[in-house]
């Protein structure tokens, strides 16, 4: 349906893949919590791309290829814990992975990796340190690291990252990256029991420079460090201080190379979550019936994760409009197999006719239905 008093006027999108900008590492993902529920695990594997044996190995999932894994507990665990709860263990001699890692996360990662058509890249994020390293003395609740950067508390916390990477490596699991802290600012606005360590941009910078960076450099791990890991509103300030965001269709046009959603799968309540911070997710699991439901956001994210593989490059796209209100959002990429992909998002409550023109191929007229997302895929001759 057209909007009132606005005639249907056609816009056009023109592109030929000749102007190439940033390359996409091709990473789109969701978090993994600690739930060992079988239906939840099956839901995660659908997202990661379980092979359909009825279609000669064709990948039937939406092919996520990056997974964020909590280091010890998150709020979406079923309990608060760290890997070393022995006070003043600055040598981390009592560091141990939890049962959640050994019996749940690691086996599921191996299973997902075996089923995925694309290599998986993992990155880990801590929610909290052991309580004896925090100013509030508890893994639960809000606090900062004790002391100052460069001291025994910060050195121990940096070595905790290395221990985590070491222990996972013993299980043949390696990490592409770590973030310094999950939500170092936004978590301060969450429920009182929420596990977090608060950082300012300057404190995070100094911790990386004096503690975490050198610890990683001395280790055998070629793991990258990601700054911020928080709400995008903080990014401009954080980037200025540390040295050197919107839906995927927008961020991919502004030099962002990937997208991380929240949880892969949650239960009917939006958990489990031991601080009752219930939210939504692409897949909802009903464990009582051993079934799961794929929500609209599952398919929305699939337009990017399924059709824009690693190594794709954003290409020039010229849009023209013949009416005052014509705000289709779009991104065009050239894939490594030389196919062109155009993703078009219509946020409005009316259909939007438009056309696509590629000088090397031709011209088509089409429509973006109200409140829809579409992907167009073609090859140049």
3-state class of 76 per DSSP?
coil
* Backbone dihedral angles phi then psi of residue 77, each to the nearest 5 degrees: -80, 175
Q: Which residues contact 289 (CB under 8 A, 6 or more apart)?
A: none
Rg (CA), the chain: 23
255 HSE (CA, 13 A, CB side) = 0
Q: What is the pLDDT of residue 38?
A: 60
CA distance 340 to 377: 6
Q: Is 293 left (phi over 0), alpha (psi -120 to 50) or beta?
A: beta
Where do we find the tokens 């596990």?
195
Per the CB < 8 A criterion, the answer to whether 282 and 295 are in contact is yes
Higher pLDDT, 58 or 283: 283
**At 12, is the pLDDT very low, low, confident or very high (cuts 50, 70, 90)?**
low
pLDDT of residue 124: 96
- Distance between CA atoms of residues 86 and 63, nearest Å: 40
* Pairwise pLDDT comparison (39 vs 138), residue with the higher score: 138
Domains defined for the chain, CATH in brackets: 11-21+311-379 (2.60.40.1180), 26-305 (3.20.20.80)
Token pair in block for residue 360: 């090397």
| pTM of the complete model | 0.84
Burial of 92 (0-12, 13-18, 19+ CB in 10 A): middle
Lowest mean pLDDT among 51-60, 234-243, 251-260: 51-60
Q: What angle do CA 159, 164, 165 make, to 5 degrees?
A: 95
Q: Average of pLDDT values for 69-88?
A: 95
Q: State the first-to-last Cα distance of the chain, in angstroms, to the nearest integer.
A: 36
pLDDT of residue 324 exceeding 60: no
């Amino acid at each position: 349906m057209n909007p009132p008093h606005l005639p249907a006027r056609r816009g056009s999108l023109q592109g030929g893949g000749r102007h190439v900008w940033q390359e996409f590492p091709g990473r789109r993902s969701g978090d993994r919590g600690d739930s060992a529920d079988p239906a939840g695990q099956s839901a995660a594997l659908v997202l990661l791309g379980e092979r359909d044996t009825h279609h000669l190995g064709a990948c039937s999932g939406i092919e996520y290829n990056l997974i964020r894994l909590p280091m010890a507990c998150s709020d979406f665990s079923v309990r608060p814990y760290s890997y070393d709860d022995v006070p003043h263990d600055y040598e981390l001699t009592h560091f141990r992975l939890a049962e959640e890692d050994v019996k749940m996360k690691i086996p599921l990662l191996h299973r997902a990796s075996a089923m995925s058509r694309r290599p998986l890249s993992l990155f880990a994020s801590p929610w909290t340190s052991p309580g004896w390293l925090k100013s509030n003395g508890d893994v639960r609740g809000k606090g900062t690291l004790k002391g100052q950067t460069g001291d025994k508390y910060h050195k121990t916390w940096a070595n905790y990252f290395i221990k985590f990477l070491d222990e996972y490596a013993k299980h043949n699991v390696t990490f592409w990256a770590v973030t310094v802290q999950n939500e170092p600012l936004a978590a301060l606005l969450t429920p009182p029991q929420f596990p977090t360590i608060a950082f300012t941009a300057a404190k995070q910078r100094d911790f990386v420079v004096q503690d975490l960076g050198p610890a990683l450099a001395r280790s055998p791990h070629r793991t990258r460090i990601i700054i911020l890991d928080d709400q995008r509103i903080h990014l401009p300030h954080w980037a200025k201080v540390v040295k050197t965001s919107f839906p995927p269709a927008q961020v991919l046009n502004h030099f962002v190379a990937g997208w991380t959603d929240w949880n892969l799968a949650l239960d009917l309540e939006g958990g489990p979550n031991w601080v009752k911070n219930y939210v939504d997710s692409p897949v909802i699991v009903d464990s009582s019936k051993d079934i799961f439901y794929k929500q609209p956001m599952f398919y929305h994210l699939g337009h990017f994760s399924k059709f824009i593989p690693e190594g794709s490059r954003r290409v020039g796209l010229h849009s023209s409009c013949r009416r005052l209100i014509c705000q289709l959002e779009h991104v065009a990429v050239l894939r490594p197999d030389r196919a062109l992909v155009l993703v078009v998002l219509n946020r409005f409550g009316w259909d939007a006719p438009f056309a696509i023109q590629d000088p090397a191929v031709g011209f088509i007229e089409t429509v973006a239905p109200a409140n829809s997302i579409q992907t167009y895929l073609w090859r140049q001759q």
